Each structure stands twice: as structure tokens, then as C-alpha cells.
Amino acid sequence: MTTKYFNPYTDFGFKKLFGEEGSKDLLMDFLNQLLPDYHQIAELSFKNPEKIASTPKERKAIFDIYCQTAKGERFIVEMQKAKVNFFKDRALFYSTFPIKEQAKKGEWTFELTPVYFIAILNFHYDEEEERRKFRRDVCLKDQDGDIFYDKFHFKFLQMPLFTKQEHELETHFDKWVYFLKNLENFDHIPSVLNEPIFQRGFEIAELAHLTPRQFDAYLKSLMEYSEVKNVNDTAFNDGEKSGIKKGEKIGIEKIAKGMLAEKLPLELIVKLTGLTLAEIENLSDENFNDE
């Protein structure tokens, strides 16, 4: 491996950079670039998302990072490596957990603290190219565009759409996105990122600073990231060449078969394709019979 810093799109890299007590200052600084002045974070704590869900099925919907501020605001922060079906539906579903968690026994006024769902996406979720935006800030508004409810927010970052180069960076937020998008490719700290907060990020991300056990965990995470990305890229190219329209069942099944051939875990295939476990097992049987 010739890179100096880890890939932040991997589960290991993302959680090492943003999801540990020792790197909490990085997460707060990054989140504050996305938040309005009145919701700036001075302190936060990490929460266990598994304790929120009431059923085993819900407990499988685990967020990358779930945290809460001293004032009660709740944040879900996800790093999505590859395109998944019904992404917006999933984002809405996940964000209901921190809302339900606020319910209190006995008499309760139903007053809620703000919930933010923040997704860093290494793909385009907008289908129509002319409507694509790097950043989308979404909240509940009425028919005139006035904010109806200011405690429920989505922040979507489509990273492939960020194309600024070092000399074009204008804001601290620009620098954060540039840092995340290019971290694995840096061999030194660029002058534009030579600030204390990014110096901390580079120090955490340096592979030479990982213990042998951490390095092994990173390699495993990197392999999983590469497998998912390669399978999705291959499936997209195959679908494009054969004229399969996205969303057609036959196309999704072909993608799933490709994933089965790569021996990806069934639960991962369910997550990526939207097919049921039974449907995927039937496809697995078909592959076996074809052989």
C-alpha cells in the first residue's frame, strides 16, 4: 500500500476520523459548517443507535454515527459508499428513530428537540443530471416556501459533484469537503489545509499511526469498500450496455446475481438492491442450477 493516509469513505476511516472520543472536535467542527448559527455545537456525546430500535428488524438499521448535543439536538451522520435503492426513503426512516426516542412515559407535551440527518454520499442520488446539486439542505416548508417546521432537517452532500481545486476553496466548509474527498491521495498537508483542525485530521488519518490491529481492520474495511464499489460500477456498466432501465426488476436481479457471483454477504445484497432475502436466495438457487 503506497498511500500515506486512509480512505475516509471506508467504515473504519470514517468512524476513526469522526466517531471516536479523541476525534470529537473534528466532528463538531465539520457539523458546525452545515448548521445555522443558532444550532452551533459546543459539546456532544455519542449514542448507541441499537438502543433506539424496538424490534430486531429495526435494530439492523444502524447509522454510522449517532450523537447528541448538551441541548438535546440529535444528529445522524452517514457515509454512503455506493448507490442504494430508495435512498430518500431510507433517510426518512432512519431519522424517525431519534424522534421516537424522545417520547416520555406519563404526561408529555410532545415538545421535540431538533433532529438532523446528514449524509455524505460517494455517488449521485439525483437521477436527472440537470437537477443535480452538490449540497441539498432540506426542511419542511409550506406551499409558499415558508418554513413550516424548523426541527427536522436533511443535509445531503453528493461528493462527486464537488469539483473545486485547492486555489478555488473559499470557505472553511469548502476546505472540509476538499479534505474528505482527497484525503487518501495526499502525500503531504497542502498549505490551504495547514490549520490546527486539519492537522489533527491528517494526524489521525496517517496509516503509520495505526496499531497493527487497527491497520488490519482498515485493510478489511478497504477491501469491503472496494468490493461494493466495483460491483456497483460493473452492474451499472452492464445495465447501460444492455439497455436495461434503472428500476426494472430484471435489471435489479441481474445486479444481484453479479453480487452473488462475487460472493458478497446476502444482507449486503439486500441492502444494496432492495430485493428481499427470499428473492435473493431464489436467485442463488438459479445460479446453482445453471452450473
Write down which residue in 211, 246, 277 finishes a domain. Answer: 211
> Domain check: are 244 and 178 in the same one?
no
Query: What is the rounded average pLDDT of the residues 85-103?
Result: 89
- CA atoms of 189 and 157, how far apart (whole Å): 24
Domain boundary among 165, 191, 211: 211
Inside any domain, residue 4: no
Residues 225-246 have pLDDT tens digits of 877 766 555 554 544 444 434 4
Domain that holds residue 126: 11-211
- Name the domain count of the chain: 2
- Among 211, 244, 264, the domain-final residue is 211
Strand order across the 115-121 sheet: 44-46, 65-69, 74-80, 115-121, 147-158, 135-141
Residue 137 counted as domain residue:
yes
Tell me, yes or no, whether 144 and 285 share the same domain. Answer: no
Residue 99 resides in a domain = yes
Q: Are 256 and 280 in contact (CB under 8 A)?
A: yes
> In terms of domains, do 47 and 148 share one?
yes
* Domain annotation covers residue 2: no
**4-13: average pLDDT:** 93
pLDDT at 281: 83
Q: Is 198 exposed, middle or buried (0-12, 13-18, 19+ CB in 10 A)?
A: buried
> 283 or 246: whose pLDDT is higher?
283
* Inside any domain, residue 76: yes
Structural domain includes residue 6 = no
Confidence check: pLDDT of 129 > 80: no
- By the 8 A CB rule, do 25 and 200 touch? yes
CA atoms within 13 A on the CB side of 260: 20
Give this prediction's pTM: 0.76
pLDDT band at 77 (very low <50, low <70, confident <90, very high): very high
Q: pLDDT at position 247, please?
A: 41
Asked whether residue 130 is domain-assigned, the answer is yes
Residues 130-136, mean pLDDT to the nearest whole number: 89
